[in-house]
Amino acid sequence: MKSDSAGRPANRFNEFRLEDTQQTLSGRFEQQAHRYPERLAIKSEHGALSYDELNRAANRVALALLDRAGAVHERVALFCGSGLSTIIAILAILKAGKAFVPLDPRLPKTKIAEIVARVEARFLLTDESAQAAAKTVAAGRSALNIDAFQGNLSSANPGLTLSPEAIAYIGFTSGSTGEPKGVVWNHRSELFGARTKTNALHLAADDRVSLLRANNVGAARDMFLALLNGAALFTLELNESNLASLPKWLRAENITLFSCVATIFRHTLQNLSGPDHFPSVRLVHVGGEPVFKTDVDSYRRCFRDDCLFVNRYSISETPPVCYFFVDKQREITAERVPAGYPLEGNEILLLDDNRKALGAGAVGEIAVRSRHLAVGYWRLPELTRRKFLADPEDSGLRTYLTGDLGYLLPDGCLVHVGRKDFQTKIKGHRVELGAVEAALRQIPRVKQAVVIVGDRANGDRLIAYLVLKKKPAFGSREARAQLKSRLPRYMIPSRFVVLDRLPLSAGGKVDRGVLRALDKNSAERKAATAVGRSALETLLLGWWREALRAECLGVDDDLTELGVDSLQAAHILARVYELFPLRAPPVGLGDPPTVAALSRSILMLEEQPGQSEEIAAEYLRVEKMTDAEVEAALSIDGGPSIDG
């Protein structure tokens, strides 16, 4: 397939006109149903519907909802088990002139009930497969089973009149960096976003679009991309049990536009080699997380020659922001693939901490200036004002502060370097976690890598979670040795954990919250057993814990894995030689360097057998005494002695 001068796919498609955004989402869908009544609209493991059948099914649910709730504009929670039911329910809620609030059944039930309460939803739409679970989270609301509305009810369009400015949906973020927030979108801005994607990707009515996890917050956008253009939507409720079958599904359904987050893309291709695995896919649409050169290499290996790879940059609060198109000839030299060039209706700004615009090449916070941003955060006016900045010269323009970091190339291309939240300080140095992850992925045996800041009880340290390409086990010494040529010492993780797979969130991204919980639980378990086996080990353990700010340090832990530096080692060894009568100063921390090894070295060098244990025990006893007890002891026989 040829591409145009911007690198976009040059296939036949009907342009989504600007004037077509001056309506409602359901109105645009009804136009497609009228235009393509017999064309396949949606297919899932639970069935398939043409555009006319889907429109009629949604109408029956909409009329049943109107009969129970009236025509008042309100929020309706959505809790369905199947992708097909989810799509019908979304269209029905919109047709009834209401706003939908998608709920992912994978979320904890207490979290779902909290969201339902926050949006004050009187009704919760569900289906047969999720009805029992829905009752446990409805919190006194009416749970309506849409499968019961598919009988003899009218299937005519409700014909309600609704302003394009009306709220269409509230999508709650995952809360990976804090409490989930409800992002509010109206019909006009969501239609503009669908228009932007349609025209940028040249989406045609004969496209077959993938939708993985229909209950995910971002799924509505892929749904609208297909169903507002007469294309076919194929849903798959992706989970760990069927992740391995995704390549087979893509082939069997002849998917032409494969849309997914970067982590799912990597999982899909991890065991594939050779070309033409996906003969129907003309466009791979990847985003949601940073995309790397290795991802492009995988695309080149597994997709047909005229297939295009698109790195997208968009977030819950903005329309699609940037696209970066890659074909098989485009050379990618940097480790991270650029986020791309601003799409129509967007202006990209890079701001410093004082919100002053930065020039090309300078790293700053990415801000998106547009007339088509989300309305704001549900019932969070102060946060909305802080994040969505009004334009003093144009009331229609606002600027959204993304919390992402990036820089602009001289030609205006945006490079996304990570979240501000993913920056930390280690030993006084600012560290970008994405840079550490990139260095880890350059190690030949590493397939995937995620780096987090360890539990603060363990001190300021980095923990790397790795998935390997093949076994045998990959040791921390080997990892650390390979990183020495790529990273400064303070950026090398203090601990490496090998996992069979990385935990995924409901949206298919890496769930860093689970990894943080793993680290905290590991630290708590370790704290219960990390005690010295002798007075000498207990004393040394206390010194090292203080030096490294690592409360969970154990006597057999490798001190280099906690980031010990030569200055700290020299300080501890000096304290040892000052306190204990030794025949010679200890030359090192032992091999491997542990508290236990240092203790053994002291015992081997002591002038009199047992002397070091006695001194350590006396030192610890004095440490536990109050000032008054120390003064009293010093007045008796010269007081306690710990200097031998």
Nearest of 558, 620, 566, 570 to residue 595 by alpha carbon = 558
For residue 255, pLDDT beyond 70? yes
Mean per-residue pLDDT for 183-197? 96
Q: What is the pLDDT of residues 151-179, one digit of tens each?
A: 667 899 999 999 999 999 999 876 544 56
Q: Which amino acid is at 421?
A: D
Instruction: Tell whether pTM > 0.85.
Output: no
Higher pLDDT, 485 or 214: 485
Per-residue pLDDT band for 444 (boundaries 50, 70, 90) equals confident
Mean pLDDT of 22-28: 96
pLDDT, residue 130, reads: 86
**CA distance to 402, 405, 414, 442, per residue, from 362 (Å):** 17, 10, 11, 25
Share of the chain above pLDDT 70, in %: 84
Least confident of 91-95, 99-103, 562-566: 562-566
In the predicted model, is pLDDT for residue 477 greater than 80? no
Q: Give yes or no for residue 324 having a pLDDT over 80.
A: yes
pLDDT at 160: 93
Task: Give the N- to C-terminal CA distance of the chain in Å, as an integer.
Answer: 84
Q: What percent of the chain has pLDDT over 90?
A: 43
Higher pLDDT, 523 or 364: 364
Would you say residue 642 has pLDDT above 60? no
CA distance 293 to 280: 23
Long-range CB pairs of 27-36, under 8 A, 24+ apart, other chains included: 28/191, 28/194, 28/228, 29/55, 29/91, 29/94, 29/227, 29/228, 30/55, 30/157, 32/227, 32/228, 32/229, 32/230, 35/230, 36/205, 36/230
Give the whole-angstrom CA distance, residue 313 versus residue 337.
11
Q: Which of 404-413, 418-427, 444-453 has the highest mean pLDDT?
A: 404-413
CA–CA separation, 302 vs 154, rounded Å?
A: 48
Tell me the per-residue pLDDT of 277-311, one tens digit each, with 9 for 90 and over.
Answer: 899 999 999 988 888 898 999 999 999 999 999 99
Task: State how far the Cα of 491 lies from the Cα of 493, in Å rounded to an integer.
Answer: 6
How high is the pLDDT of residue 33?
98
More confident residue, 149 or 72: 72
Handedness of CA 607, 612, 613, 618 (dihedral sign): positive
The beta strands (E) that lie in 213-335 are given as 232-236, 257-261, 283-287, 308-313, 322-326
pLDDT band, residue 6 (cuts 50/70/90): very low
Tokens of 425: 């300080």
The answer to whether the CB of 383 falls within 8 A of the CB of 370 is no
What was the pLDDT predicted at 400?
A: 97
Q: Residue 243: what pLDDT?
A: 78
**Closest C-alpha to 295, from 322, 265, 323, 275:** 265
pLDDT in tens, 548-588: 766 667 777 777 766 676 777 888 888 888 888 888 888 77
Kindly tell me if the per-residue pLDDT of 616 is higher than 70: yes
73-85 per-residue burial string, b: 16 or more CB within 10 A, e: under 16: ebbbbbbbbbbbb
The Cα–Cα gap between 393 and 189 comes to 21
How does strand 446-453 pair with strand 462-468? antiparallel
Residue-level pLDDT at 482? 82
Residue count of the chain, please give it: 644
Position 135 scores a pLDDT of 80
Q: Look at residue 2 in the predicted model and tell me its pLDDT.
A: 42
- Axis crossing angle, helix 25-35 with helix 51-69, rounded to the nearest 10: 140
Top-confidence residue, 53 or 108: 53
User: Span 112-128, mean pLDDT?
Assistant: 91
Place of tokens 């069927």: 242
- Cα separation, 133 vs 384, in Å, equals 33
CB 476 within 8 A of CB 561: yes
- What single-letter DSSP state applies at residue 97? T
Dihedral sign, Cα of residue 164, residue 167, residue 172, residue 177:
positive
Integer-rounded Cα Rg, in Å, for the chain is 30
Per-residue pLDDT tens over the stretch 347-361: 999 999 899 999 998
Return phi, psi of residue 429, to 5°: -100, 140
Q: How confident is the model at residue 523 (pLDDT cuts 50, 70, 90)?
A: low
In the numeric block, which tokens belong to residue 69?
Answer: 């709730």
**Planar angle of CA 421, 452, 171, nearest 5 degrees:** 50
Collapsed DSSP state (helix, strand, coil) of residue 499: coil
Mean pLDDT, rounded, for 403-424? 85
DSSP 260-280: EEHHHHHHHHTT--SS-SBTT
Asked if 295 and 301 count as a contact pair (C-beta separation under 8 A), the reply is no
Sheet hosting strand 341-342, strand order edge to edge: 47-50, 40-44, 232-236, 208-212, 257-261, 283-287, 308-313, 322-326, 341-342
Q: Taking all residues of the chain, what is their mean pLDDT, rounded to a whole number?
A: 84
Please give the Cα distance from 165 to 176 (Å, whole number).
30
Q: Would the pLDDT of 425 be above 90? A: no
Q: If we measure between CA atoms, which residue out of 214, 297, 192, 228 comes closest to residue 259?
A: 214
Using CA atoms of 582, 588, 592, 598 in order, give the dihedral in degrees to the nearest 10.
Answer: 30
Give residue 101's pLDDT: 95
Pick from 256, 225, 247, 402: which is nearest to 321 by CA?
402
Q: How many CB atoms lie within 10 A of CB 353?
A: 7
Residue 1: its pLDDT value, please? 40
Contact 408, 360 (CB under 8 A): yes
Q: How confident is the model at residue 232 (pLDDT cuts 50, 70, 90)?
A: very high
pLDDT band per the 50, 70, 90 thresholds, residue 368: very high
Tokens found for residue 178: 């804090």
Choose among 366, 381, 269: nearest CA to 315.
366
Structure tokens at 418: 């990570």
Gap between the Cα atoms of 231 and 444, Å rounded: 41
Rounded (10°) angle between helices 595-605 and 535-548: 130
Identify the pLDDT of residue 63: 94
Task: Out of 250-264, 412-426, 455-469, 541-555, pick the least confident.
Answer: 455-469
Most confident segment among 89-98, 404-413, 511-520, 542-551? 89-98
Give the C-alpha separation, 529 to 555, whole Å: 10
Please tell me the predicted confidence (pLDDT) of residue 533. Answer: 81
Which domains does the chain show, CATH number per domain? 427-526 (3.30.300.30), 532-634 (1.10.1200.10)
